[in-house]
Amino acid sequence: METRRPDISMSDVQHILTEICHWKIHKIDRLDSFEDRNFMVKYENAEASQSKEELKAMVKIVHSKNFCQQKVKAERRVMDHLKNEGFICTSCLSFPDGKWHYHTDDGKHVFRLFSFIPGVTLKSCLHLIDSKSMLLDLGSFVGKLHRSLQKVKESIVVEDRPTDPWILKNSSILRNLLKEIQGTSEEKERLILNTLENFDHDVMTSFDDLPKGVTHNDIHDLNIIVNYHDGKLQSIECNTEENGVKAKFGLIDFSDVAVSPYLFEVAMVIRDLTVDIEDVPHLEIGAYFLTGYTEVSPISAKELQLLPYCIQTGLCQYIVVGESEFQKQPDNEYTRLGADNAWTVLQKLQHITNSDISKTWERIMNS
């Protein structure tokens, strides 16, 4: 899979949207991305011109070699299901010819269009909101999400992605990438390899017994849209009848949808929050999230015991994949986002036993 971002200019993007979609472009903003090109576009079309309404949409551009029509169809089915269940999530927009994608004339790139969810990314406002309250709400939200996704047939997910380093079970890929990274210290390499070994020994031996299903597989604070006021999350200004936690979080970017243990996605969310939240102690972050999650979707004692191994391996993903991609894309700082903080957290956690981590969670969850 090509991981370097598509080489396409802003003027080419505007030209295609103008000629193919018949949009009158008001503004295009380039967004951070790992392996795609993403843009937020303000525009008007023939219908909007009648009402003088400015519209917004998200544009994703991928390499043609990375595009899979069956995978895109699965994404749409998951998004449509969640919207029908009252969740706020982005949805695909069709091109004027009725298709869900557009291949550029040179055959190199594929354009996709998505609806815009009003608000800001959770990451951008973490320092402005009540973290503990947010963690409880987000835990409940992800719990409800998993309960809903249990109704989606696993057969719609067409790719197993055995070489994707962001799939937690592919820990061997991280080992291979680590060997290729230049300048890794002996301490860092040793700790990462020990973490991966513990994960394989304690988690992967129980993999077949873990509850699994369709997951978003990329829930992090840049893919969560929120609205806030006076330090509290508010309902997103969207057409929804929901008033609870479903109304407080909008979910975007379903391109990594996968069949996976729900525990792995819980670990990934806690990993990201642990890296980014500064006003709550590391161990308490997981505890507050789990408090909200388990009220909706119970976690077994065995899963809780395995969760610290999963989080630590997730931290290794940030460190290894981030550094590996940055060496391939030295002009893309986004690839290393969170890597330094992940290393700091991983170092701190090595001085705490996983048993003590679980006990801390249980104490707070039962208080």
| pLDDT value for 1 | 47
| pLDDT value for 50 | 58
Mean pLDDT calculated for residue range 9-32 = 91
Average predicted confidence (pLDDT) for the chain: 90
**Model confidence pLDDT, tens digit, residues 279-335:** 999 999 999 999 999 999 999 999 999 999 999 999 999 999 988 877 777 676 666
| pLDDT value for 3 | 52
If you average pLDDT over each of 177-181, 183-187, 214-218, which comes out highest?
214-218
Does the pLDDT of residue 336 top 70, yes or no? no
Residue type, 320: V
| pLDDT value for 237 | 72
Distances (CA, A) of 346 to 46, 57, 252, 317, 350: 53, 38, 28, 11, 6
Does the pLDDT of residue 343 top 50, yes or no? yes
Does the pLDDT of residue 339 top 90, yes or no? no
Does the pLDDT of residue 47 top 70, yes or no? no
Q: Which among 253, 77, 257 is positioned nearest to 159, based on CA atoms?
A: 257
Confidence of residue 160 (pLDDT cuts 50, 70, 90): confident
Does the predicted model carry a pTM greater than 0.75?
yes
| pLDDT value for 49 | 56
Mean pLDDT calculated for residue range 220-230 = 94
**Model confidence pLDDT, tens digit, residues 65-119:** 888 888 899 999 999 999 999 999 999 999 999 999 999 999 999 999 999 999 9
**Model confidence pLDDT, tens digit, residues 229-261:** 999 999 997 655 566 899 999 999 998 999 999
| pLDDT value for 213 | 95
Do 144 and 296 contact (CB within 8 A), yes or no? yes
Q: Which residues is 111 bridged to in the sheet?
A: 61, 102
Mean pLDDT calculated for residue range 165-184 = 91
Mean pLDDT calculated for residue range 329-356 = 83
Mean pLDDT calculated for residue range 349-361 = 92
Does the pLDDT of residue 266 top 50, yes or no? yes
| pLDDT value for 4 | 74
